[in-house]
């Protein structure tokens, strides 16, 4: 075995244990979606996804091997060096990774931990806010429905309303419910969402306000 091969194996083992994580990008910005829209948050986008949503605007995050790996302590320090009160761990699909240590270290720094996930992989971490965004291609694991503080369903066409209701029936009664228009179809579908929510007021509307503000 060459030294390069040994290093590669060591890195994979560190990622499997959550001691290091593959990162596509990270940045301090304003949360643009859901319950915490308008709140300053630091986003950490993990690499790797096997869900493959056709409308995904970060498809470059899917292939984990194309992105650098950083020690979990270093990732936490990026956030701690700013004034961000909350971190949003997203992807890709973040639950592909072991996130217990990441949350533990953020909480030691007094930083609230939020996650945005399809829920298609086993739960890990200790989250102050769990946004479940289920996808038809790969549904959430049963355990993740009970964890959801917020259900966010992307609406691109008329049959997505039925899917949203099916998913809403699986989360707790305390879970916030959001419908969010798919960005490229927003002008076509938003009016339908507005009328649906007016008729079914358990739902709320989430818009990608960061795109209106032209921020990440």
Q: How far is the C-alpha of 26 from the C-alpha of 12, rounded, in Å?
A: 21
Strand partners, 205: 179
pLDDT value of residue 1: 66
The model scores a pTM over 0.85: yes
CB-based contact 160:176 (threshold 8 Å): no
pLDDT value of residue 9: 80
Cα 189 off chain centre by: 23
The C-alpha torsion from 124 through 203 and 193 to 147, rounded to 10°, is: 10
Tokens 């989430």 identify what position?
206
Question: What average pLDDT does range 132-161 have in this prediction?
Answer: 97
Q: Is 173 exposed, middle or buried (0-12, 13-18, 19+ CB in 10 A)?
A: exposed
When pLDDT is cut at 50, 70 and 90, the band that residue 6 belongs to is: low
pLDDT value of residue 55: 82
Domain ranges of the chain: 3-213
pLDDT value of residue 54: 85
Residue 196: both structure tokens together: 């649906």
When pLDDT is cut at 50, 70 and 90, the band that residue 92 belongs to is: very high
Question: What CATH code would you report for 3-213?
Answer: 3.20.20.70
Q: How far is the C-alpha of 109 from the C-alpha of 104, rounded, in Å?
A: 9
State the DSSP code for 155: E
When pLDDT is cut at 50, 70 and 90, the band that residue 119 belongs to is: very high
Question: What average pLDDT does range 97-121 have in this prediction?
Answer: 98
Helix axis angle for 100-108 and 72-80, nearest 10°, is 30
Query: What is the average pLDDT score of the chain?
Result: 96
Q: What is the pLDDT of residues 157-192, one digit of tens each?
A: 999 999 999 999 999 999 999 999 999 999 999 999
Q: What percent of the chain has pLDDT over 90?
A: 92
């Amino acid at each position: 075995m060459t030294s390069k091969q040994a290093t590669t194996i060591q890195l994979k083992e560190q990622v499997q244990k959550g001691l290091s994580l593959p990162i596509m990008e990270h940045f301090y910005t304003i949360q643009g979606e859901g319950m915490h829209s308008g709140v300053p948050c630091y986003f950490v986008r993990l690499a790797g996804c096997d869900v493959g949503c056709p409308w995904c605007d970060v498809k470059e995050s899917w292939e984990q091997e194309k992105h650098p790996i950083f020690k979990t302590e270093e990732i936490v320090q990026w956030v701690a060096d700013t004034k961000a009160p909350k971190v949003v761990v997203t992807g890709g699909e973040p639950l592909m990774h072991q996130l217990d240590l990441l949350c533990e270290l953020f909480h030691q720094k007094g930083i609230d931990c939020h996650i945005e996930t399809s829920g298609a992989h086993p739960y890990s971490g200790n989250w102050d806010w769990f946004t479940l965004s289920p996808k038809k291609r790969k549904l959430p694991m049963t355990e993740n429905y009970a964890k959801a503080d917020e259900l966010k369903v992307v609406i691109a066409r008329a049959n997505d309303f039925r899917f949203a209701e099916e998913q809403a029936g699986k989360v707790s009664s305390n879970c916030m419910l959001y419908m969010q228009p798919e960005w490229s179809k927003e002008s076509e579908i938003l009016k339908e969402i507005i009328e649906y929510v007016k008729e079914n007021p358990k739902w709320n509307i989430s818009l990608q306000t960061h795109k209106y503000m032209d921020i990440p």
